[in-house]
Amino acid sequence: MTPQQQARYWLLALAILLVLIWLLSSILLPFVAGMAVAYFLDPPTDKLEAKGLSRSLSTSIVVVAFFVLVVLAALLLVPILQSQIAGFADRLPGYIAGLRETALPVLIDLGGRVGIDVGASAGDAVKEMAADAVGFGFRLLRQAWSGGLAVFNILSLLVITPVVAFYLLRDFDHMIAALNDWLPRQHAGTVRRVLFEIDDVMAGFIRGQGTVCLILACFYGLTLTIAGLEFGLIIGLFSGLVSFVPFVGALLGLVLSMLTALTQFLPEGDILRIAIIAAIFVVGQVLEGYVLTPRLLGDRIGLHPVWVMFALLAGGALFGFVGVLISVPAAAAIGVMVRFAHGHYLGSLLYLGGDNPRSDEPPDGGSAP
């Protein structure tokens, strides 16, 4: 089989895989979640196995402990979060109306100083903002309900995900060995090296970034609640968990927190409390950028923030909620393969020209998208 025939074969296999994912995206959520859980729990399972326990027993201990913690956290947090989400949705139009009453005079005064009449336009803009915010919230809930979080899928998450995680985690080494045997012998070494790089990048993001998001969620939720911010727990948890999208989590959390803080504290003239709320997000960003990310991720991710955001939007547009879950691992794999292709391009006739590639300069690995 020629290299061109091999390339056509693998491209056809990739196209079939993408079509299957698109067709089955409505039922893939518990399986994708189970794969993510298994991948996340593989290191502690390996440690227990190294201490002399069987793989099945190690897997059982880790999976049971993980889901017991998840259930306990859900039992403790879900009632609180449910009440806070409902309360925040009810109060959001009032927050925006209150912001209009407190911030609009300031805007009118500033506009008058520079000779601009912003009274009517600012009022209309705030009204439109309130209507858009409420409409967006209802659209988001409808999409979440119809696109992957309906009752059936929630039940499947609770039942199927632990089973999938257990079997994948128990048979992980056997599956890796089987995949290794299936690699085309001519390119097995190269494919294995690329897959190891992909695994390193994915491990850095899924395990490292997942831990960073959990720490930030606890930090924001706890500090905003202590600072006395209404609905501080739900805003803080949301800000931390969405931090896997670069800059978006902190920005959304800051906007929601300042909207709530201005409405809650500005009528009382409590400027200090508003400054404390803003300072919490500054500290959170410093903590993430200079402590958590260097120690838990280092330079293993190799994904540019713009590439991550594009991958999330593209995955969501193509495959819905499942696409959001698989978009970053797919982006990591594509990034590694692009670096690999870029390195070969720099050593090829297409780049160098002439009859033979220059052998005195090793190809540069390039940079990830």
What is the reported pLDDT for 90?
72
Domain assignments of the chain as residue spans, ordered by start: 21-182
What is the reported pLDDT for 277?
92
Residue 52 backbone zone (phi > 0: left; psi -120 to 50: alpha; other: beta): left
What is the reported pLDDT for 59?
92
In whole angstroms, what is the distance from residue 43 CA to residue 206 CA?
Answer: 12
What integer best gives the mean pLDDT of the chain?
Answer: 76
Q: Does residue 360 sit in helix, strand or coil?
A: coil
Q: Does residue 327 sit in helix, strand or coil?
A: helix
Name residues whose C-beta falls within 8 Å of residue 281's C-beta, 6 or more positions apart in sequence: 220, 239, 250, 253, 254, 257
* DSSP assignments along 7-27, one per residue: HHHHHHHHHHHHHHHHHTTTT
**Cα dist from 196 to 121, 180, 208, 332, 363, whole Å:** 57, 12, 17, 12, 20
Q: Give the model confidence (pLDDT) of 51-80 as tens digits.
A: 989 999 999 999 999 989 888 887 887 777
In whole angstroms, what is the distance from residue 185 CA to residue 328 CA?
Answer: 29
Q: What's the predicted TM-score (pTM) here? A: 0.64
Q: Are 321 and 27 in contact (CB under 8 A)?
A: no
In whole angstroms, what is the distance from residue 129 CA to residue 108 CA?
Answer: 18
- Determine the residue type at 84: Q
Q: From first to last of its 369 residues, what are the pLDDT tens digits of the chain?
A: 676 777 788 788 888 988 888 888 777 878 888 888 888 888 899 999 999 899 999 999 999 999 898 888 878 877 777 777 777 777 767 766 666 666 666 666 666 666 565 555 555 555 555 555 545 544 544 554 444 445 555 666 777 888 888 998 888 888 888 888 887 777 788 888 888 888 877 777 777 778 888 899 999 999 999 998 888 888 898 888 888 776 777 888 888 888 888 888 877 777 898 899 999 999 998 888 888 877 776 655 666 777 777 887 888 788 776 777 778 778 878 888 888 888 888 888 878 876 555 544 444 444 444
Q: Does residue 184 sit in helix, strand or coil?
A: coil
At residue 52, φ and ψ (nearest 5 deg) are: 110, -5
